């Protein structure tokens, strides 16, 4: 499943999901580190969190605290915090509301991706991978949809006609770039990596050259090594480009 990578003080930190058994067995959180992004060492005491289901995570550091937004059981997004990247405290499922303040309807809301700017937290999430929605919060407690329609819809292009989900947001030269995964197959047997661009985080234009990665290299995460960007595709295994 999609993991997440941050680079700090010359060290790459990768959080990822560990599997043990069949699909119904609870997924736990692992950590690996690297100095070059190529050779990785798993943390000796993995899993670093085994008190609940953790997969498809997004991690951001804010004012000395690490915030992890991840899927839990039933594709329900939840939040965890840490001050050392290793020990995590569960904060519970996210309270996402419709634009009018009403609770979100029943069903999955997963693959959370987070962006923070000017006191506002932006949460991109999917519902059954049938579109990418955006909810915002100023207190990390209540999240309110900017609109009740997806900000990124499936299609009409063939390559993302059956599923989309956001993996990461970056800001470059004043514009936002959303790296997302998608599939053109109804049975989801193969995924690709794609990009969309936005001026305001709400209105998105898909890159005309999508997908940027095929061959089931999906769930893209972009990391700067200080001089250039490195693209990691995180599903079904971790590859570097």
The confidence band for 66, taking pLDDT boundaries of 50, 70 and 90, is: very high
**pLDDT above 90 as % of the chain:** 95
Section 172-192 average pLDDT: 97
The yes-or-no verdict on residue 93 having pLDDT over 90 is yes
The confidence band for 101, taking pLDDT boundaries of 50, 70 and 90, is: very high
Section 198-207 average pLDDT: 98
Q: Mind listing the pLDDT tens digit for each residue in 7-33?
A: 999 999 999 998 888 888 999 999 999
Report the C-alpha gap between 232 and 125 in whole angstroms: 20
Dihedral angle sign, alpha carbons of residues 38, 42, 48, 51? positive
Of 18-27, 74-83, 140-149, 163-172, give the lowest mean pLDDT range: 18-27
Which residue in 75, 68, 26, 76 sits closest to 51, CA to CA? 26
DSSP, res 79: E
Locate tokens 């999240």: which residue? 143
Which residue in 227, 224, 223, 158 sits closest to 194, CA to CA? 158
Locate tokens 């119904």: which residue? 24
The confidence band for 1, taking pLDDT boundaries of 50, 70 and 90, is: confident
Q: Looking at residue 54, what is its pLDDT? A: 97
The confidence band for 64, taking pLDDT boundaries of 50, 70 and 90, is: very high
The upper half-sphere exposure of residue 195, i.e. CA atoms within 13 Å in the direction of its Cβ, equals: 15
Residue 159, phi then psi, degrees to nearest 5:
-65, -20
Which residue in 165, 151, 178, 68 sits closest to 111, CA to CA? 165
Q: Looking at residue 6, what is its pLDDT? A: 98
**pLDDT averaged over every residue in the chain:** 96
**Encoding tokens for residue 75?**
């594709």
Q: Mind listing the pLDDT tens digit for each residue in 109-145?
A: 999 999 999 999 999 999 999 999 999 999 999 999 9
């Amino acid at each position: 499943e999609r993991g997440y990578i941050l680079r700090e003080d010359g060290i790459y930190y990768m959080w990822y999901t560990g599997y043990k058994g069949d699909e119904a067995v609870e997924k736990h959180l692992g950590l690996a580190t690297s100095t070059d992004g190529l050779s990785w060492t798993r943390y000796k005491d993995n899993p670093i969190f085994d008190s609940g289901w953790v997969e498809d995570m997004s991690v951001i550091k804010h004012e000395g605290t690490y915030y992890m937004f991840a899927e839990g059981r039933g594709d329900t997004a939840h939040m965890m915090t840490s001050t050392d990247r290793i020990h995590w405290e569960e904060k519970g499922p996210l309270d996402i509301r419709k634009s009018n303040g009403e609770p979100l309807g029943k069903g999955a809301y997963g693959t959370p991706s987070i962006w923070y700017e000017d006191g506002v937290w932006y949460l991109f999430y999917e519902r059954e991978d049938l579109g990418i929605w955006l909810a915002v919060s100023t207190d990390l407690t209540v999240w309110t949809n900017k609109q009740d329609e997806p900000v990124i819809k499936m299609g009409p292009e063939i390559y993302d006609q059956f599923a989309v989900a956001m993996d990461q947001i970056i800001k470059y030269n004043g514009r936002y770039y959303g790296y997302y995964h998608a599939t053109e197959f109804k049975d989801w047997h193969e995924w690709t990596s794609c990009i969309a661009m936005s001026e305001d985080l709400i209105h998105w234009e898909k890159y005309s050259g999508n997908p940027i990665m095929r061959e089931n290299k999906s769930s893209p995460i972009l990391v700067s090594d200080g001089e250039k960007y490195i693209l990691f595709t995180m599903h079904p295994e971790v590859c570097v480009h």
